[in-house]
Structure 1
Amino acid sequence: MGDSLDSVPFNPFDHRWRETLNGGAGLFALAVAIVFAFIIIIVFIIRIIQLPRLRQQIINDFNDGMVDNTRSVPTRILKVIIFLLLTAGLVGVLYFNISKMIHDSPKISVTLIKNDMAPSMLFCNGGSNTTRLNYTSGRYYPIFNDNSDNPESFSIDLTVIKGEYGVCQFLDGTNFLKPINASRGYYELGFTGDIPGIIVFIGDNNTNMDWTLPIPQGNLLSDVGVQVLDGNGGVIQYTETRHTALNDTVDRSFQISVIQGPTAAADNETIISVSIIEPRMVINQVEDPSLTLADLFSNVGGYLGILGIFGFLFGSSKMDPFGFVARFVFIKQDRTKLLKELGKMKGDSNVELSTWEKEEKEVDIDTKTSNLSNQAEFKNLLTKYYVETDYYEHAVKTPENVYINKV
C-alpha cells in the first residue's frame, strides 16, 4: 500500500487487479473471450485465403456499405458523418473506461464490524528518560460490564523497547489473541517508578511502525493514539478505524480519550494503574475498484445500444440469416441443410410456388430458382425468409409517389 492511494502498475496476479477484473470468474471470462476472438480471426483469415469467392463477397459488401447508391447524396453524407461521430464516441468511451480502471483511485465503502483484533500499546516514562518504568502485572477481561459471566481473565506479557523516552514497556497486539466472543473487553495494567506520569501510545504493530520515535508513526493510514496520564494513571478509552486495501492489507488508526483521571497512590511508593477500554465495534473502510471489468462491459454495451439510433435514422442492412459459422466454418454442412429445408417448402401452404416440380426427390435449388417464372411467387419466398417489404409497398403504391416523381 505504501503512503499513497494511487494506482499500481498492471499485474494480473496482484490482488488489486484480481478485484478489478472481478476475481477468478472475470479472469476466466476474459481469457475465454480472448481465445474466442483469436479463433474467429484465424478462421476468417484461413477461409479468405482458401476461397476467392468469399474475398469477393467481402469486397462487395464493403463497397455496398460505403457507396450505398440506393440513397440520395445528402442522406449518404449525413450517414457518414453520424457513423464517424458514433465511432469516435465508442473509442472515447473505451479509452475513458480503461484509463479509469487503470489510474483512478479506489472507491471507499464503509461498514461496521466487530472488534476482533487487539491493539499494540507502548507505555513510556512521562518525565526523565533516565528513569525506568517497571511493569508489575496486567490482565485482560473479555467482558467489560460483568465479570461474573466470564470470570477467567488473561494475563498480559510486555516486552521492553528502548527509544526516545528511555526504557518503555510494549504490548504486541499481533501476538495477543483475543477470544472470539470478546468484542468489548478492557485491559488493567500496573506500573511502578518514581515518575510524574506515563505516556500511553496505542497503534498497529505493522511492518512500517517505528515505536522508537517521540510520536510512534506507521504508514499513511496507521495513526497512533497518544495520551499522557499524570500522577497515578487513570482510565482511558480508544476508538479504532480500519482501512482494508484492495490487496487485502489492513491498516488501523486509533484515537484515545480519558474516562477517569489519576487515583491516589500509597505512601512512599508511586503506583501507576492504567485501565484501557476497547470499543465493541470499529469502522472499516473498504477499498473497491473504481471500475471493474463487468462495469466496463456494461458501459460499452450501453453505448453500443446507441447504434439503434443509427438504424432508426438510416434503416438496417439487408437481412442476412447466415452468420460467420455458416459462411466460414461449416460451409458444406449448412449448405446441405439449407437445400434440404428449401426442398420441404413445396409442402408449405404459406408459400405457394406453382413452378416447383411435384416429384418426391431431393430438390436442386439452383435449378428450381431458375424456374421461378412468377414474380409474385418469388416475392412470397423473399418475404417469408429474407426481406421486409413494407416500405417497398408504401413507396410504389401510395399516391405520394406520383408527386415525388413529378418533383
Structure 2
Amino acid sequence: MGDSLDTVPFNHSWYETLNGGAGLFALAVAIIFVFIIIIVFIIRIIQLPRLRQQVIDDFSVVDNTRSVPTRILKVIIFLLLTAGLVGVIYFNISKMIYDSPKISVALIKNNMMAPFMLFCNGEKRSLKYTSAEYYPAINGISESAPIDLVQQFSIISGKNGECQFFNGTMFLKPISDSSEGTYSLSFIGDASGIIVFIGDNNTNMDWTLTIPQGNLLSNVGVQVLEGNGGTIQYTETRHTDLNENVDRSFQISVIETVIIEPALNGTRINVTIFEPRIVTNQVENPSITLADLFSNVGGYLGIWGIFGFLFGSSKMDPFGFVARFVFIKQDREKLLKELKGDGNVELGTWEKEEKEVDIDTKTSILSNQAEFKNLLSKYYVETDYYEHAVENV
C-alpha cells in the first residue's frame, strides 16, 4: 500500500478521510465537548477573581523553587516541544488535505461489469452486424446456453467509418462460478480485416475518434485483426477512487487469426473474445485519516514525558476542572464533610501516627509544623482548593 499517485489529479472524499460516519460523530462530539469546556472556563474566570489569580499564577514565570539556569532550560525545551506539536498537527492536516491517495491493489472476480466494444472495418468503410452471442464460460461453449446480444449493438460513425458499437451497460452478465465468458461475434465488412476497441463503460468515452479515448485512467485496448477475424483476449485493470467512481483500462492480445471464404455480399469477419476471470482493482485510500491524525498527535504527546523526567512532575492536585469550575459548591461541601470527620477520612489519623515516631528525629528535620506545611505547599501538594474551602466555612 506504499504506492501513491503523485501526479494524477484526484478528488478528495472527506467522508472517507474523516473515517466515515463514526469519525464524523466522534469529531462532532469532540468539538462540542471542547466548546463547552471553554465556555464554562470563561464564565467562571469572569465570576470568580480567585480563579483569575490562580490562572495567572499557573502561567507565571516566577518560580523560586528552581535555579535560573534550570528555569531558562525549562522554557527553551517547553517552547521546542510546543513548536514540535504545532508542526506535527500542521504536517498531518496538510497531508490530509493535499497529499495524493495511497493505492491498495486487490484481485477480484470479473462479475457483472461488461465493457464497451467498438468494431470498425476501416476509414470510409462500413461494417454490418450479423450475429452476436455471449457464452458464460470459455471452455465447453457448446454446453452453455448462449445469450443473444442483438439488443446491445448500435451504429457509430466516426473517424474509422461506420462502426458497430456494443453497449456494455445494457448487458447484465449472468453470475457464474467461473466469472468469465466468451463473446462470439460475426460481421460483414467492405474489406478484410477488423479493428477492435475495448474500453470503459462510462460517459467520458469518445468513440468517434481514430483512437477512442476516455479520461486519464481509462485506457482503451486496441487490436487490428488481419484477414477474416480471429480470437483475442483482453485483460482489465480497474481504478476505484475515493468517491468510489470506477475507471477501467484494457489491453488486448491476439490468440489466433482466421481466414475463411468471403461472403457473396461482402467479407465475412468472425471475432471471438475471451474475457478474464480475474481483474486487478486499484483502490484509492486517503493518505491520512482523522484516526491517523489523532494517533500521530497522541504519539508525539508521549514525548512530553521527557519534560517531566527532566524537570519533575507538577504538584499533586486531586481537584480537576469539574471541581474547580463546574460543581464548585458541591465538591467544596463534600471536602469539608470529610475534613470534619463525617466521611471516611479522619483528621486525627496523622496525629496518632506521629506519636509513634521518634520526636527528636522529626524535630531535627523540620523545625516546626508550620515549616512542614510550607514545604508541602511549595513543592508537593496543591493546597489552594483546600484553603479556599476552609475559608468559606
Structure 1 length-normalised TM: 0.82
1:281 corresponds to which residue? 278
Separation of aligned partners in 1, 2:163 and 2:338: 91
Counterpart among 134, 149, 161 of residue 156 in structure 1? 149
Deviations 1:127-176 (A, max 9, x none): x41x3211000100001112466x32111121010101111000111111
Whole-angstrom distance in 1 between the partners of 2:76 and 2:296: 23
Of residues 152, 163, 171, the one that matches 1:176 is: 171
Match of 2:77 in 1: 82
Is the contact made by 2:338 and 2:346 (CA closer than 8 Å) also made in structure 1?
A: no
Correspondence for 2:334 among 328, 332, 337: 337
User: What residue in structure 1 maps to residue 259 of structure 2?
Assistant: 263
What is the CA-CA distance between 1:354 and the residue it aligns to?
A: 4.9
Q: Tell me which residue corresponds to 1:165.
A: 160
The residue type equivalent to 1:229 in the other structure is L
Q: Does 1:109 align with 2:107?
A: no
User: 2-side partners of 1:201 and 1:171: how far apart?
Assistant: 10
Match of 1:279, SS? coil
SS at match of 1:74: helix
1:352 equivalent among 350, 353, 358: 350
Q: By how many angstroms is 1:309 displaced?
A: 0.1
Separation in 2, partners of 1:73, 1:225: 75
Letter in 2 for 1:225: G
**Cα pair 2:192 2:269 within 8 Å, conserved:** no
Q: Give the aligned CA root-mean-square deviation in angstroms.
A: 2.4
**Equivalent residue runs for 1:187-266 within 5 Å:** 187-266=183-262
CA drift of 1:284 comes to: 0.3
Give 1:262 deviation, angstroms: 1.9
Identity %: 73
Question: Following superposition, which runs of at least 4 residues in structure 1 exceed 6 angstroms of deviation?
Answer: none
Q: 1:64-122: CA deviations, max 9, x gaps?
A: xx221210111111111111111111111111111111000000000000102111100
Aligned to 2:9: 6
Per the alignment, residue 300 of structure 1 pairs with: 297
1:139 is aligned to 133
**Other-structure match for 2:391:** none
Q: Secondary structure at the match of 1:352?
A: helix
Contact persistence 1:125–1:198 (CA under 8 A): yes
- The one-letter amino acid paired with 2:336 is L
List per-residue Cα deviations over 1:357-376 (Å, max 9, x = no partner). xxxxxxxxxxxxxxxx9839
Q: Distance in 2 between matches of 1:172 and 1:353?
A: 94
Give the CA deviation at 1:5.
Answer: 3.3
CA distance in 2, matches of 1:48, 1:197: 87
Is 2:67 the partner of 1:69? no
Q: Secondary structure at the match of 2:184?
A: strand
Q: 1:274 to 1:336 in 2, by over 3 A?
A: same
**Letter matched to residue 146 of structure 2:** S
Cα distance change of structure 1 residues 348 and 113 upon mapping to structure 2, 3 Å threshold: farther
Q: Residue 157 of structure 2 aligns to a residue in which SS?
A: strand
- Match for residue 369 of structure 2? 375
Distance in 1 between residues matched to 2:222 and 2:33, nearest whole Å: 59
Amino acid at match of 2:9: D
CA apart distance, 1:340: 2.4
1:305-359, CA deviations, whole angstroms, 9 ceiling, x for partnerless residues? Answer: 110000000011111111111000011111122222332355489x43359xxxx
After alignment, is 173-182 or 242-251 more displaced?
173-182
State whether residues 241 and 285 of structure 1, in contact with CA within 8 Å, keep that contact through their aligned partners in structure 2: yes
Residue equivalent to 1:19: 16
Q: TM-score, normalised to structure 2's length?
A: 0.84
Deviations 1:254-294 (A, max 9, x none): 00000011232256452100000000000000000000000
Tell me which residue corresponds to 1:404.
none
Structure 1: 5+ residue stretches without partners: 9-14, 356-372, 389-407
The Cα offsets for residues 241-260 of structure 1, whole Å up to 9 and x where unpaired, read as 00000011000000000001
Structure 1 position 202, deviation (Å): 0.1
- Structure 1 distance, partners of 2:193, 2:171, is 26
Q: Report if the CA contact (8 A) 2:195-2:222 is conserved.
A: yes
